[in-house]
Amino acid sequence: MSLEKLAPIKSSSKPTTWRGQAVQLAGVVALVFLAKGALAEPFYVPSGSMEPTLMIGDALLASKFPYGYGTSSLPIQINLPETGRVLGETPKLGDVVVFRWTGDRSQAWVKRVVGLPGDRIQMRQGQLFINDRAAGLKPDGLGEAEDDNGGSQPAHRYVETLPNGVSHLIFKMRDNGPLDNTPEVTVPPGMLFVLGDNRDNSADSRVPVRAGGVGLLPIDNLVGRADAVLGSWDLAMRHQPLWTWPSGFRLARFFTAIR
């Protein structure tokens, strides 16, 4: 069987010089960089802090235009002074956001926004209170909370409804965990309060940066809004024979919206 080769397109113009080729390559790189920086960027989920909404091994797509653009929006991290955001918009309650962690801006994290500037946030016996109003909690059976080693443990699943009507699933593994009761915090201007949906396994705004958590999240740290899961693979399959790995693809999660 013969192999066909693509023939170069003949042109009556002068041959392209190496400088011309370099310019063309630079143009392509700039176009890709612009699209990745201005429109959307893919990210990989390495932990279970956002279960059951996001699973370990999910590949998500973050849209950058909903919140405007700042240095955190760049596809590569450069040590530039923070000068605010262009076309900046404040997230809505319930948005799942990707952001640069204050403790190490090379790291991108993902959490859910539950407190906007001026809001008063508190956890009481594992229930979220926003401005002294309890978020709705409706039991939704049991689920499996996966850990970073591929193991899992039972978790109570709830539908949480925020004051603006946005509903989403959360996991609770304990009735009275160490982060289930917190002092009331008023979110300052330019900041957000974020939580992981896996409430007993998330270093979020309940945990200060010096202790490895998010603390209050500066809006300027936002990369974008997590809108869709592009694909997903069960990392536990790494411990199985190579030929079984394709069975680890979670096809039902491919190209699904994040809520």
**Which residues, other chains included, contact 88 with Cβ-Cβ below 8 Å and sequence gap of 6+?**
67, 68, 69, 70, 219
Pairs from 246-252 (Cβ < 8 Å, separation ≥ 24): 248/57, 250/55, 250/57
CB count within 10 Å of CB 251 equals: 8
User: What whole-number distance in Å separates Cα of residue 243 and Cα of residue 138?
Assistant: 41
Beta pairing, strands 185-186 & 191-195? unpaired
Q: Indicate which residues carry an active-site annotation.
A: 49, 111
**Contact between 210 and 192 (Cβ < 8 Å):** no
DSSP 23: H
What is the amino acid identity at position 170? I
